[in-house]
Each structure stands twice: as structure tokens, then as C-alpha cells.
């Protein structure tokens, strides 16, 4: 089993540019999460999907962040335009109800 796969692993962009992250969850996991982790902090939820439906996006800054999960499998997270404060690690996780969470390796974003 490949686990949760994220790409790219690292991304450096200039401020005001757009950026997108991709996540492929574990096969059969209906629930998918995007988390943001700042240095020295625990991950914080951005959005949670149940299949293709976003059931909790209350922490997603919707003025610049968007996400989609077409067909209830892969997901993309987009930032447009990026700001310096968006520099962080973006983590994707998936789970099946009753089980724990499996995280991907994350995407480290640096906005310069």
C-alpha cells in the first residue's frame, strides 16, 4: 500500500503567485483532510471532505484558498494569490471511519 501521496514535496514561489498542492489518499478512505502546520506548532485543520463533499471548511481562508475533491478520491488545494504568511507545511491525511489518520509527507511551501 502506497500510503497518502502528496506532491510536490517542496515549492518556492514569489508572493502574489498561485500555487497548487495535490493529494492522493489511501484507497478506500472516504475522509480526506488538509492541514496546515507552522514551525513549532501542531497541525491545524483547513478542510475535511467526506467523499466529494466538504463537510468542514470553517478554517479555510476562502478569500485566497480553495480546494476540490473530484470523484471523491484525489484532492487539490490551491492558494491564489500567495502571501508571505502562507509559508508553512501543508499536510494531507485520510481515514476510514473508526480508524486512525494516515498522513502524507507534506508539501513545504516557501513564499518569498
Partner 1 sequence: KQEVTQIPAALSVPEGENLVLNCSFTDSAIYNLQWFRQDPGKGLTSLLLIQSSQREQTSGRLNASLDKSSGRSTLYIAASQPGDSATYLCAVTFGNEKLTFGTGTRLTIIP
Out of 1, 28, 42, 71, the only residue in the binding site for partner 1 (CB under 8 A) is 42
Rounded to a whole number of angstroms, the minimum distance from the CB of residue 105 to partner 1 is 4
Q: Is 28 in the site for partner 1 (CB under 8 A)?
A: no
Tell me if residue 70 falls in helix, strand or coil.
helix
Sheet architecture: strand order including 5-7: 5-7, 19-24, 75-79, 65-68
Binding mask 47-86 for partner 1 (x = CB under 8 A): -x-------x------------------------------
- Asked if residues 109 and 9 have their Cβ atoms less than 8 Å apart, the reply is no
- 64/43 Cα distance (integer angstroms): 19
Out of 14, 68, 83, 99, the only residue in the binding site for partner 1 (CB under 8 A) is 99
Amino acid at each position: 500500500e502506497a500510503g497518502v501521496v502528496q506532491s510536490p514535496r517542496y515549492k518556492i514561489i514569489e508572493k502574489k503567485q498561485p500555487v497548487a498542492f495535490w493529494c492522493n489518499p489511501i484507497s478506500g478512505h472516504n475522509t480526506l483532510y488538509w492541514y496546515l502546520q507552522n514551525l513549532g506548532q501542531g497541525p491545524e485543520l483547513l478542510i475535511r471532505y467526506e467523499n466529494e463533499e466538504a463537510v468542514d471548511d470553517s478554517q479555510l481562508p476562502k478569500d485566497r484558498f480553495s480546494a476540490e475533491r473530484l470523484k471523491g478520491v484525489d484532492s487539490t488545494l490551491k492558494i491564489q494569490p500567495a502571501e508571505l504568511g502562507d509559508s508553512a507545511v501543508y499536510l494531507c491525511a485520510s481515514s476510514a471511519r473508526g480508524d486512525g489518520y494516515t498522513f502524507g509527507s507534506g508539501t513545504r511551501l516557501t513564499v518569498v
